[in-house]
């Protein structure tokens, strides 16, 4: 499992950045759209800043609510994404959050399946 990569992008860092960004957006009264929210702590920071969802909105990806760190054991480096897959508990708690949108990055299912050059 690629623990060095995972450990270099811990959930608490994502949560701190999310909290800082929404506070900055609120401070200058602009709309802010948070993308690829992958952990419960970041989702909590965003939700705490949302009063009516008109200024601060959040998105997560399908893989952030369905895959977790244990998937690296089976799939190797195939799901090497940013932010990285989180713990099973994070996935459960994060999937219970009220995101504004759920995105889907174009990720091939098989290493050779990306045929965009043809």
Model confidence pLDDT, tens digit, residues 44-64: 999 999 887 789 999 998 888
Model confidence pLDDT, tens digit, residues 19-31: 999 999 999 999 9
This prediction's pTM: 0.80
Residues 6+ apart with CB under 8 A from 90: 11, 38, 39, 40, 68
**Residue of 82, 91, 58 whose CA lies nearest to 9:** 82
Residues 6+ apart with CB under 8 A from 103: 35, 36, 59, 60, 61, 62
To the nearest 10°, the Cα dihedral for 62, 66, 72, 77?
-10
Question: How confident is the model at residue 5, as a pLDDT?
Answer: 84
Question: How confident is the model at residue 75, as a pLDDT?
Answer: 86
Would you give the end-to-end CA distance of the chain in angstroms? 32
């Amino acid at each position: 499992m690629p623990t060095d990569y995972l450990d270099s992008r811990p959930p608490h860092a994502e949560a701190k950045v999310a909290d800082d960004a929404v506070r900055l957006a609120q401070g200058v009264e602009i709309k802010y759209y948070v993308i690829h929210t992958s952990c419960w702590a970041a989702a909590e920071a965003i939700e705490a800043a949302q009063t009516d969802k008109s200024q601060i909105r959040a998105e997560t990806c399908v893989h952030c609510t369905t895959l977790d760190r244990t998937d690296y054991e089976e799939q190797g480096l195939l799901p090497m994404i940013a932010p990285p897959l989180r713990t099973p508990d994070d996935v459960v708690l994060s999937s219970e959050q009220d995101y504004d949108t759920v995105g889907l990055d174009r990720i091939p299912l098989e290493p050779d399946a990306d045929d965009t050059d043809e």
